[in-house]
Amino acid sequence: MDALAATLKAAYPRALATLIRLLQDIDAAEDVLQEAITRALEVWPGEGIPNNPVAWLVTTRRNKAIDLHRRYKLEVRHHESLLAMVDNNPFNRQVSEAVLHQHFNDDLLRLIFTCCHPALAQEEQIALTLKTVAGLSVPEIARAFLVPPKTLEQRLTRAKRKLRDEGISYAVPTVAQLPARLDAVLAVIYLLFNEGYSASGGPELIRTGLCNEAIRLARMLSRLFRAEAEVTGLLALQLLQHSRYRARVDGAGHIIPLDEQNRTLWDHSLIAEGRALVEKALRQKRPRPYQIQAAIAAVHSEAARAEDTDWAQIAELYCVLERYQPSPVVTLNRAVAVAKVQGAKAGIALLRTIENTLEIRRYHHFHAALAALLAADNQPCNAIAAYEKALSLTQNPGERAFIHRKISSLK
């Protein structure tokens, strides 16, 4: 059953994306796919998992899908829309017909741009797309936004109702419409990668499949928007972060902190590619958040040993990032870097400036970081209390085991 469940989970986003393209309706596509999954759970244990699970799920409820398709009286216009996108358009130099045909003939990327419709608030765009494209659960998406699941559920309901009531078309946007949607699309891919990099639930800390899918989508965007520095920056950031995946957990699945990782296990081909992309993006002298984060990751990648890390430069880069993207999470990361340079007390003082922020109070990484600095400042009782707060806010088994070990060492 584990293999069956894993197969269904992996197939879900692509099957849903295809059904949405065919049916032009998110709710209808979800209904059809849920029935197909129910049927798969009945059939696959006896007949075996099919060679192409996505195709099986899409076609097994074919008759219902056809009926829905006729009811809505909609048609699929792939090649016509792709060709129209490049006719007499000022963005032709960035987006060629060949590239569009190659990369927009991908249901997932098409669906991301569709869901990121400017008629919706950007947070609604991103939440709806993460739910639809990635199949992330409401609690997983709520964690990304640092909001309660109920709040996130309301956003999703509101977004789907607006799309339905206003009759917003599920069509590939024109080239002229792409730039207005790009920031939301980048945020979706960034958060998709983050959920893979540090899973909010489930048995694994790292969901490699999600990381690889996010990188695949970022590569497509980098080909579509070759001159867009922030697209290049996002791809660089993901490559540099993912380069460490083999060193981040031990054989027992326990988390290995960055400063304890065996750096010979890092993927140096990804590091080389990521650094080259960072340099390419920064040469355009249009810095934005993903490029700055990629630059921080590049500084980490340059240190052969943890003690060689240029924390002063990292702290300065976080200062720059705060100017472009002020947020408590950025301040949290700056505090960690400042503590490396100026000592634990300086880091703690900076964390105290954001500790009453509503979103930070439910963010387990904040409490874990505060605990580590309190322990370094010889405040074991306060550190244990902070670790216990972090423990109450995470469901990931790997993170929970890591925090338990920290508490035990302090006791």
> pLDDT class for 82, splitting at 50, 70, 90?
very low
* Close Cβ partners of 188 (under 8 Å, ≥ 6 residues apart): 112, 115, 116, 125, 126, 129, 130, 133
- Given a cut of 50, is residue 96 above it in pLDDT? no
Predicted confidence band at 94 (pLDDT cuts at 50, 70, 90)? very low
Q: What is the pLDDT of residue 98?
A: 42
pLDDT for the residue numbered 67: 58
Looking at the chain, the whole-number percentage of residues with pLDDT higher than 90 is 50
pLDDT tens-digit series, residues 264-304: 999 999 999 999 999 999 999 999 999 999 999 999 999 99
Q: What φ, ψ does residue 339 adopt, rounded to 5°?
A: -60, -35
Query: What are the residues whose beta carbons fall under 8 Å from the beta carbon of 256, sequence distance 6 or more?
Result: 247, 248, 249, 250, 262
| Stated length of the chain | 411
Average pLDDT score over the chain: 85
pLDDT of residue 64: 63
How sure is the predictor about 342, in pLDDT bands with cuts at 50, 70 and 90?
Answer: very high
In this prediction the pTM is 0.79
**pLDDT of amino acid 337:** 98
Is residue 254 pLDDT above 80, yes or no?
yes
Predicted confidence band at 404 (pLDDT cuts at 50, 70, 90)?
A: very high
What residue has token string 């060949």? Answer: 98
Task: Let me know: does 368 contact 387? Beta carbons within 8 Å.
Answer: yes
DSSP bridge partners of 255: 249
Q: What is the pLDDT of residue 12?
A: 84
- Interval 118-167: pLDDT, tens: 888 899 889 988 887 777 889 889 988 888 999 999 999 988 888 788 87
Residue 55's pLDDT is what? 85
Q: Which amino acid is it at 221?
A: L
